[in-house]
């Protein structure tokens, strides 16, 4: 146990100070405080000694130097068990400081709300993190509080131990203090990296705020949590249903990534095990869902429906006819929400505030981290080249681009079949591209009625190295194909397409999803 005799308080966030001050007064703990905090303590009716009076040295450099003084840091860092430390403090008439209560300048909030670099730089806290690091290092002797959320814990500790703190308590505070300083430094360093657009520095600092502890990971024996990385916040809102699991989040993000790539306020996506099993951008929102479901109604069972539009009463009634884990949309009408909430466990998510631009994909394994920019490229006609003698019409070209856009979100090897801006067959995640063709064709033949008048489009996420995959697609009714270029057999594929009289379009960029 360590008796608290003196406390230093220097806080940017001055909320809820009164209960702390009452407790410190109760145990006759001397308070030292810096400028703004000193004024607040005085305003609340409590006694405190201002830093400049305590150190006999004035604040200087427009407040940049307040607590950076040997009297402060020696008082925090001295080892109470070392006679040499005690003698040095006595020699210079320094006192021990047993409790440090500090929170930092709100750098993160300033970056969010202001653009002037000068103002942002002035909100880089120097003295605060220095005191916190010193107190945390010396946790054997000093307690350090870095958040308003810890005030009640401190009050309870002091009351329980009659003005003292236990080493177990101080060590826990030490852990949280170093998390706080590490996080703060990461925010600042990433701000400057953002200015220079240096996304891959020699050392990478990744910081985040915990959103939630998850019940478990992909399987019950794995532990898991979810964090908002960087300055971003969780911009999806759960309106109803059970807590989201690790697998729910994984599927949900896959669905959102696809739906947010679709035209504004148009399109419906159904996802199962992180792969789309139906997508449509029919302008009639109700029909968009029906067509997405029709692509593979068996796989849709227990899946996620993501609507890139506001869900109304009619669609809500239709959605309730099947078993779904999650329904996500850019808003819900009041009646729609009431209908969907009839299903107790259905997770209802509002994604209207979500922006899917400017983020990075991260994967971790074996204590390494793979990082890449996200594949959010918006496709335009200039990104593609028609290489066949048979040329696509305007609508055919739009259908081809739609199919290729969906294909990039399907696990490789990926084949997507579409008709009239709706998927009708998806083959995902096969080591052989020919097998992916077989699966997509089988899905189409199982759930669709294809006539000679239908224009069936096929998209592949990579080039066909041989004609066998292309041949299977054409035999099933495909009349136009889109794929990336890059094979040494590209000319052979073009000749084969011309022989069959189909449209063949090459993408200038490849879009794998592993």
- Residues marked active site are found at 137, 273
Half-sphere exposure of 356 (CA within 13 A, CB side): 19
The Cα–Cα gap between 361 and 463 comes to 24
- For tokens 């709706």, name the residue: 422
| Alpha-carbon distances, residue 66 vs 5, 75, 432 (angstroms) | 22, 15, 67
The Cα–Cα gap between 261 and 45 comes to 57
Contact 5, 24 (CB under 8 A): no
Q: Does residue 374 sit in helix, strand or coil?
A: coil
By residue count, the chain amounts to: 514
Listed in sequence order, the residues at least 6 apart from 514 whose beta carbon sits closer than 8 Å to its beta carbon are: 411, 412
**Dihedral of the alpha carbons of 174, 178, 180, 184, in degrees to the nearest 10:** 160
- What is the DSSP secondary structure assignment for residue 382, as one 8-state letter? G
Closest to 99 measured CA to CA, from 138, 68, 45? 138
Closest to 184 measured CA to CA, from 139, 217, 231, 226? 231
Which phi and psi angles does 389 have, rounded to 5°?
-70, -35
Contact 326, 251 (CB under 8 A): yes
Helices and strands, number each (H, E), in the chain: 19, 23
Which phi and psi angles does 302 have, rounded to 5°?
75, 20
The Cα–Cα gap between 289 and 39 comes to 61
Half-sphere exposure of 481 (CA within 13 A, CB side): 33
Q: Peptide bond preceding 16: is omega within 30 degrees of 0, i.e. cis? A: no
- What is the DSSP secondary structure assignment for residue 352, as one 8-state letter? T
Closest to 167 measured CA to CA, from 144, 146, 145, 140? 140
Residue 295 token pair: 């692509």
| Alpha-carbon distances, residue 177 vs 29, 74, 145, 188, 373 (angstroms) | 22, 19, 7, 17, 32
Q: Does residue 175 sit in helix, strand or coil?
A: helix
The Cα–Cα gap between 340 and 244 comes to 17
Residue 37 token pair: 């905090």
Half-sphere exposure of 181 (CA within 13 A, CB side): 20
C-alpha angle 503-505-508 in degrees, rounded to nearest 5: 175
Residues paired with residue 278 on neighbouring β-strands, in sequence order: 270
């Amino acid at each position: 146990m360590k008796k608290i005799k003196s406390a230093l308080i220097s806080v940017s966030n001055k909320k809820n100070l009164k209960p702390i001050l009452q407790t410190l007064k109760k145990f006759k703990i001397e308070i030292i405080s810096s400028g703004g905090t000193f004024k607040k303590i005085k305003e609340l009716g409590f006694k405190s000694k201002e830093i400049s009076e305590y150190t006999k040295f004035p604040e200087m450099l427009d407040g940049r130097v307040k607590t950076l003084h040997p009297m402060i840091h020696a008082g925090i860092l001295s080892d109470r068990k070392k006679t040499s430390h005690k003698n040095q403090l006595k020699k210079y008439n320094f006192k021990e400081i047993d409790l440090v209560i500090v929170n930092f300048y709100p750098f993160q909030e300033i970056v969010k709300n202001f653009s002037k670099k000068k103002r942002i730089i002035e909100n880089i806290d120097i003295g605060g993190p220095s005191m916190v690091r010193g107190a945390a290092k010396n946790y054997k002797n000093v307690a350090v509080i870095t958040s308003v959320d810890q005030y009640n814990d401190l009050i309870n500790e002091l009351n329980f131990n009659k003005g003292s703190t236990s080493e177990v308590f101080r060590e826990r505070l030490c852990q949280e203090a170093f998390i706080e300083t590490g996080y703060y430094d990461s925010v600042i360093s990433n701000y400057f990296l953002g200015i220079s657009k240096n996304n891959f520095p020699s050392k990478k600092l990744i910081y985040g705020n915990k959103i939630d502890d998850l019940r478990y990971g992909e399987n019950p024996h794995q532990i898991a949590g979810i964090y908002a990385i960087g300055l971003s916040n969780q911009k999806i809102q759960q309106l109803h249903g059970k807590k989201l699991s690790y697998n729910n989040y994984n599927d949900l993000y896959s669905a959102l990534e696809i739906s947010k790539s679709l035209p504004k306020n148009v399109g419906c996506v159904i996802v199962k095990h992180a792969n789309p099993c139906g997508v449509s951008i029919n302008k009639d929102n109700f029909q968009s869902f029906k067509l997405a479901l029709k692509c593979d109604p068996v796989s849709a069972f227990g899946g996620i429906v993501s609507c890139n539009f506001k869900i109304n009463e009619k669609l809500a009634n239709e959605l309730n006819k099947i078993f779904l884990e999650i329904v996500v949309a850019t808003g819900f009408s009041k009646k729609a929400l009431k209908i969907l909430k009839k299903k107790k466990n259905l997770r209802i998510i509002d994604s209207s505030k979500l922006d899917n631009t400017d983020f990075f994909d991260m994967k971790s394994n074996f204590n390494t981290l793979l990082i890449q920019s996200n594949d959010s490229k918006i496709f335009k006609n200039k990104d593609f080249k028609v290489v066949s003698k048979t040329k696509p019409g305007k609508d055919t070209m739009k259908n081809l681009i739609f199919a290729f856009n969906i294909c990039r979100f399907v696990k490789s090897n990926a084949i997507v079949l579409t008709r009239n801006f709706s998927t009708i067959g998806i083959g995902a995640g096969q080591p052989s591209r020919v097998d992916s063709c077989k699966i997509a064709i089988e899905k189409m033949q199982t759930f669709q009625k294809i006539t000679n008048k239908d224009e069936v489009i096929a998209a592949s996420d990579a080039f066909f190295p041989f004609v066998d995959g292309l041949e299977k697609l054409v035999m099933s009714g495909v009349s136009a194909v889109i794929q990336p270029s890059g094979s040494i057999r590209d000319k052979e594929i073009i000749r084969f397409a011309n022989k069959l009289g189909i449209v063949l379009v090459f993408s200038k960029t490849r879009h794998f999803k592993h």
